Amino acid sequence: MNRQIRRLGIAMLVLFGALFVQLNVIQVLRADAYNDNPNNTRAIVRDFSRPRGQIVAADGTVLARSVPAEGRFERQRQYPEGELFAGVTGYFSFIAGAEGVERTYNDVLAGRTTQTVSDIGELLLGEPRTADVTLTIPTDVQRVARDALGGTRGSVVALDPRDGAVLALWNFPSYDPGLLSSVDIEAAQAARDRLLADENSPLLPATYRETFFPGSTFKVVTAAAGLSSGRVSVAAPAYPSSSAYVPPLTRNPINNFGNSTCGGTLADILRVSCNTAFAQMGVDLGAEVLVGQAEAFGFNDVPPLDLPGVEPSPIGDVASFVQNTPVLAMTAIGQNAVRSTPLQMALVAAGVANGGQVMVPHVMAEVRDDRGEVIDRFEPQLWTRATSPAVAATVTEAMVRVVEDGTASRLSVPGVSTAGKTGTAQLGNGLSHAWIVGFAPADAPRVAVAVIVEAQPGASEQTGGRVAAPIAQAVLSAALDATSP
């Protein structure tokens, strides 16, 4: 009998131990994954009728607020600016959970973070305390980004390179988050079904969740790799004038656009975006140098933007290029093995602008409690050191020439020294993505920008300068007006 009791006791202890371990796995090790899963709506169900703070633009424009509602729920979330900030605020939906700032700062908005209690009555009565989240994005700059891009599919990202503050984050198509946040559950579900069925994916914040071939904008990274390695300088090598370059291990040439002939030193080949020279540079440098430089800018890593679901920009590892020089050559000009989000290319431009330092990107500026007192403020943080200040300065000088006398002339902000690089990423179906990255003022940068206009007909190195540059120029101008020196 005693033996049976002991066996039962041991079995109970084992089962209890297994339960204890499983609870810890769920509540501790997997807690973040469960909380970040968009299908997990428990927090939304709990918070849907509770008081909730506002989301406010940098200029004070209210972007999200809760108002009284009738029926099953006491409150309903409203988004006065409609689609304009949908990719940033996200939504707060009973049927779909939360996205964007509504998800990242859910506890703050719901008043579950630590706040100062000045009245003991508040503590005893349990009066709800909420907080408002103020963003770094001015409404006027976001509106210019939307209007400049117009009804063309694409994305615009603008950053302050000095501290990583996001100044614009827009993609088209977008959506009205108020439709998903309606207390009319049937209407909200119907709206969500329509948005999910739309082949243009309006619910996808492409600025930080979709990757594309970066095309010739990636030549900024290749140039930085050459300079950082010491194998490239402003004076040497002088790449031979050529209309085609055949990498080792293949007979297939890499051509310049229009089979044009180009060559020369670094500033010359960046100014005209010379494919043959940059492809040769990538092969000469080797995979270890090129991949290492890309990773120093943030590729192969997830940018620490304070929004959920940020995608990394892949370039592969060094081993993937072994005995594969044709792919390495194509990667050096922004095709084949490398893909980037618009956010990542904006971070590349910002890193060059900031003397080689890439700051942590962020949309939250500060948090204020319901009395207006600041309880949190974002402090600038270094994310990665991409290059030395000397390398960044040399790349900047070359990018200024691209604007003054090259493919990015339409990026120039009147009266302001501007640096830029165009790109055209060929899709192989007669279409190409038009890119541009840049920053201004070039001598004391306050704004960095990346623009992609998707699936443009034809393929020319001028496409980025013709299509994307005017959009970026408008955003640069607006953001310079909104930021202080």
Pairing, β 364-369 against β 131-135? antiparallel
89-111: average pLDDT: 94
Reply yes or no on whether the pLDDT at 124 is more than 90: no
298-312: average pLDDT: 98
53-70: average pLDDT: 95
For residue 151, what pLDDT is reported?
Answer: 93
Q: Model confidence over 21-50: pLDDT tens digits?
A: 565 655 555 555 555 555 555 556 666 778
Percent of the chain at pLDDT exceeding 90: 75
Q: Is 398 exposed, middle or buried (0-12, 13-18, 19+ CB in 10 A)?
A: buried
Starting at the earlier edge strand, list the strands of the sheet with 374-377: 75-78, 62-68, 55-56, 131-135, 364-369, 374-377
134-144: average pLDDT: 98
For residue 111, what pLDDT is reported?
Answer: 85
Reply yes or no on whether the pLDDT at 221 is more than 70: yes
Stretch among 346-355, 444-453, 463-472, 475-484 having the lowest mean pLDDT: 463-472
pLDDT category at 460 given cuts 50, 70, 90 is low
Q: What is the mean pLDDT of the chain?
A: 90
pLDDT category at 119 given cuts 50, 70, 90 is very low
Token duo for residue 349: 């431009």
For residue 125, what pLDDT is reported?
Answer: 47
Q: Model confidence over 150-183: pLDDT tens digits?
A: 999 999 999 999 999 999 999 999 999 999 999 9
pTM summary value = 0.88
Stretch among 77-91, 165-179, 421-435 having the lowest mean pLDDT: 421-435
Which of the residues are catalytic? 216
Reply yes or no on whether the pLDDT at 198 is more than 80: yes
Backbone angles phi, psi at 260, to 5 degrees: -70, 165
SS (H, E, C) the chain: CHHHHHHHHHHHHHHHHHHHHHHHHHHHHCHHHHHHCCCCCHHHHHHCCCCCCCEECCCCCEEEEEEECCCCCCEEEECCCHHHHHHHHCCEECCCEECHHHHHCHHHHCCCCCCCCCCHHHHHHCCCCCEEEEECCCHHHHHHHHHHHCCCCEEEEEECCCCCEEEEEEEECCCCHHHHCCCCHHHHHHHHHHHHHCCCCCCCCHHHHCCECCHHHHHHHHHHHHHHHCCCCCCCCCEEEECEECCCCCCCCEECHHHCCEEECHHHHHHCCCHHHHHHHHHHHCHHHHHHHHHHHCCCCCCCCCCCCCCCCCCCCHHHHCCCHHHHHHHHCCCCCCCECHHHHHHHHHHHHCCCEEECCECEEEEEECCCCEEEECCCCEEEECCCHHHHHHHHHHHHHHHHHCCCHHHCECCECCEEEEEEEECCCCEEEEEEEEEECCCCCCEEEEEEEEEEECCCCCHHHHHHHHHHHHHHHHHHHHCCC
**How many whole angstroms separate alpha carbon 388 and alpha carbon 447?**
20
Reply yes or no on whether the pLDDT at 199 is more than 90: yes
pLDDT category at 378 given cuts 50, 70, 90 is very high
Stretch among 7-16, 129-138, 260-269 having the lowest mean pLDDT: 7-16
For residue 88, what are the contacts with CB-CB under 8 A and spacing of at least 6?
63, 100, 101, 135, 137, 166, 169, 205, 307, 363
2-25: average pLDDT: 63
User: What domains, with CATH codes, occur in the chain?
Assistant: 215-364+379-482 (3.40.710.10)
For residue 427, what pLDDT is reported?
Answer: 81
